Each structure stands twice: as C-alpha cells, then as structure tokens.
Amino acid sequence: MILNEEQQMLADLSERLFADKASVDTLRAIRGGRHDADYDTALWQAMVESGLTGILVPEAHGGMDFGLVSAGLVARETGRRLALTPFLSTAVLGAIAIGRAGHAEQQKQWLGPIAEGSLIVALAIDETGKHRPERVATQANAEGDAVTISGEKTLVVDGPNAGLFVVSAMHDGKPALFAVEAADSGVTVNAVTSIDTRSMANVRFDNAKAQRLDANDNAFDDVLNAGRAMLAMELVGLSRAVFERTLTYLTERKQFGLRIGAFQALQHRAAHLSVEIEISEAMAFQALAAFDAGAADATQQILAAKARAADTARLAAAEGVQMHGGMGMTDEFDIGFFMKRARAASELLGDANFCTERFAQAKGY
C-alpha cells in the first residue's frame, strides 16, 4: 500500500503516539486491578488531543473524515501495543453507525461527542457466544412516535463504559439498528472481562427508549464491514509485534553455546511467518481501500482479509510462544498477552471460519 502524504503523516503520528503513551505495562496494571479504569485513559486522552477519535467523523461535526485506510493505520498500532482503548467501538463502529445511518439531528447530537472523546459507544448485536448477526431475538416496538427495545445482548465490547448503545433489533420483520442511551432506566449492564482483559458486558434492554437509525438501509452491513476491516489491521499489527519480539529473543537466547536464531529450523519458521504477515497486511490494506471506494466486492475483500489476518495472528502467537520456550506462557514475557488478544480479536465480528464461509457464499459456492 502506497500511502499518500496525509496518510503517511498520520501513520507517523500514530506510531510516535502509541510508542510514547501505550505500554503492555498498562494492560498488566488493568489486569491486576491496579489501574483506576478498565481501559487506558491516558492513551485515550492523547488520542483525543491528536484528533484520532474523530478520524471517521465528518469535519462538520468536528472530525477529520480521513477514511477507513487512515483509521486502519491507527488500528495497526493498537495491535502492536496491545492498547486498551474504545477506539474500535467508538471511533470506528459508533462513528460509522451514526454517520451512515443517523439522520441530521442524530448526527448533530452524537458525532461531535464521539470526535471529542466524551462519548463512548458500544455496538450490541450478538445474543450468543458466537457472532451470528442475523440471529436477532431482540424486539423493537413502536407506539406512535415512541420506540422501545426489549432483549439481551452478550459480550458487548466497552459496554460498561458506554454512554450510548447501537443495538440490532427486529422491526417490521427484519433486523434494524437503534440507538439507546445507556442512562435509560430500561438498560441493565452486567460487566464481564474477556480473556484479553478487554472490558465487555452482557446488556439487557427492558422497554428501553430507542431511536431508529434508518437513514441508510445498508448501514448494518457497513458497520460490520468496517469493524472486520479494522480488526484485520489490528491483527496484522499484533502479528508484527510478536514477530519483532520473537526475532529479538532469537538473537539473544543461547543454547549449546549458540544463539538459537542460528538454528536453520527456526530461521525457516521465522521466514514463513514473515511472508504470511506481509500477505495479510496487503490484503487488509486492499480491503480498507475497497471500503473507502465503495467497491462492489468490498464485503468479499474484507471477509477474506479478516479470515487471513486471524489465521496469521494465531500462527504468529503460537510460533512466538513456542520459540520463547516454556517461559513464553508465563507472565514474565508479554507474548502470552498477544496470544490471548489474537484469539479474542479473531472471534470478534466473526472468526476465520465464519468469514471464510460468508466469502464462499458471496462467491456463489
């Protein structure tokens, strides 16, 4: 991917900001209950001040409107640093949902706070342990101009901190997106912690007041596509970080008087992983560009990129742990944290099997 001048500046900014502000030590602190929040508040504030939280918000609402390729550059750094922030849920999924499906008043109400970082948005669509967006039991009921939502959503990323939920519910016989304020008396949030220390929640809606997001019939697909493309880039960044750390270890660790990086078997495996990462990154960038261009096959490209990136991240994590030896599974090394995030991010919005199956269906198989 050849970045234009604006994108290259953003890539450099993101790399510097995350290198300076993000640390696996913060994840360790949050995991151990030694942090005052369940996400990296200092990093999030730095992202706000740098304008990254408004990267997909139109300029009219205080954002930069740089497109998904640019957002992917940020996502790649979140993967490299295992950053715990609401970037995916709010700056990407929330901004896409409100920006593409909300009418003018809804955009005015919520897009500005998203860009300012004062509003955290959580996407609530799944109702089981696996991602099946078409299986929606949650119901939307309309009485005059009033709409209420009833149902339960599981494993809602950033749910405990959300001020607004974007919820899928059945309406007129098909799924649609609705916005529900977290402060509504009909909303019950039960916090859970995922294996990768991400903040999640099971959320119940009991006749909660809702606003329908219906300015664009394709918005639901757009939100899912944007999220999967972001996760593909995050997984690429994660894979690169594991690869870099593992290479460093191979040049330092000695066995039989030799650095283990001198062993040909490990060199072959490292070379194979390097090629897989390059291919996955190229596919992810192509998918992001297809989304921005509104390409007819954008969905297929995104599904392929997410599936490939998920497989590559799991390979990178497995190789990283094994090349570190038994110590790779201990908290003394960070590799185990990357392995947990690889698994969780691969599952989010559809694992490799899900994406591969949907890709095949789209191709007519």
pLDDT per residue over 265-310, tens digit each?
A: 778 889 999 999 999 999 999 999 999 999 999 999 999 999 999 9
What is the rounded CA–CA span in Å between residue 106 and residue 111? 8
Question: Under CATH, which number does the domain 219-362 receive?
Answer: 1.20.140.10
What is the rounded CA–CA span in Å between residue 319 and residue 335? 10
User: Is pLDDT of 326 > 70?
Assistant: no
pLDDT of residue 252: 75
Q: Are 264 and 301 in contact (CB under 8 A)?
A: no
pTM score: 0.95
What is the rounded CA–CA span in Å between residue 359 and residue 362? 5
**Nearest to 89, CA basis, from 175, 26, 162, 22:** 162
pLDDT of residue 265: 78
User: Is pLDDT of 262 > 90?
Assistant: no
Q: Name the pLDDT band for 363 (thresholds 50, 70, 90).
A: confident
Beta strands at 164-171 and 121-124: parallel, antiparallel or unpaired: parallel
Q: Name the pLDDT band for 18 (thresholds 50, 70, 90).
A: very high
What is the rounded CA–CA span in Å between residue 344 and residue 358? 20
For the residues 152-163, what does the mean pLDDT come to?
A: 97
Q: Name the pLDDT band for 259 (thresholds 50, 70, 90).
A: confident
For the residues 251-271, what does the mean pLDDT come to?
A: 76
Average pLDDT over all residues of the chain: 93
Cα–Cα distance list, 148 to 165, 177, 216 (Å): 13, 12, 20
- The tokens for 288 are 């992001």
Domain covering 5-116 assigned CATH 1.10.540.10 in the classification: yes
For the residues 184-209, what does the mean pLDDT come to?
A: 95
pLDDT of residue 136: 95
| CB crowding 285-321: b at 16 or more within 10 Å, else e | bbbbbbbbeeeeebbbbbbbbbbbbbbbbbbbbebbb
What is the rounded CA–CA span in Å between residue 349 and residue 73? 20
Cβ neighbours around 270 below 10 Å, total: 16
User: Is pLDDT of 145 > 80?
Assistant: no
- End-to-end Cα distance, the chain: 30
Q: Are 191 and 161 in contact (CB under 8 A)?
A: no
In tens, the pLDDT along 229-253 reads: 999 999 999 999 999 998 888 887 7
pLDDT of residue 365: 84
| Measured CA angle at 18 (ends 242, 225), to 5 deg | 75
| Measured CA angle at 112 (ends 108, 116), to 5 deg | 170
pLDDT of residue 343: 95
Structural domain spans, the chain: 5-116, 121-213, 219-362
> 247: which residues sit within 8 A by CB, 6+ positions away?
261, 270
Domain covering 121-213 assigned CATH 2.60.40.650 in the classification: no
Phi (first) and psi of residue 143, to 5 degrees? -130, 100
Rounded percentage of the chain residues whose pLDDT exceeds 70: 97
Q: Do domains 121-213 and 219-362 have the same CATH topology?
A: no
pLDDT of residue 218: 86
In angstroms, how far is CA 192 from the centroid of its own chain? 18
Q: State the SS3 of the chain.
A: CCCCHHHHHHHHHHHHHHHHHCCHHHHHHHHCCCCCCCCCHHHHHHHHHCCHHHCCCCHHHCCCCCCHHHHHHHHHHHHHHCCCCCHHHHHHHHHHHHHHHCCHHHHHHHHHHHHHCCCCEEEECCCCCCCCCCCCCCEEEEECCEEEEEEEEEEEECHHHCCEEEEEEEECCEEEEEEEECCCCCEEEEEEECCCCCEEEEEEEEEEEEEEECCCCCHHHHHHHHHHHHHHHHHHHHHHHHHHHHHHHHHHCEECCEEHHHCHHHHHHHHHHHHHHHHHHHHHHHHHHHHHHCCCCHHHHHHHHHHHHHHHHHHHHHHHHHHCHHHHHCCCCCHHHHHHHHHHHHHCCCCHHHHHHHHHHHCCC
For the residues 76-88, what does the mean pLDDT come to?
A: 97
Cβ neighbours around 243 below 10 Å, total: 19
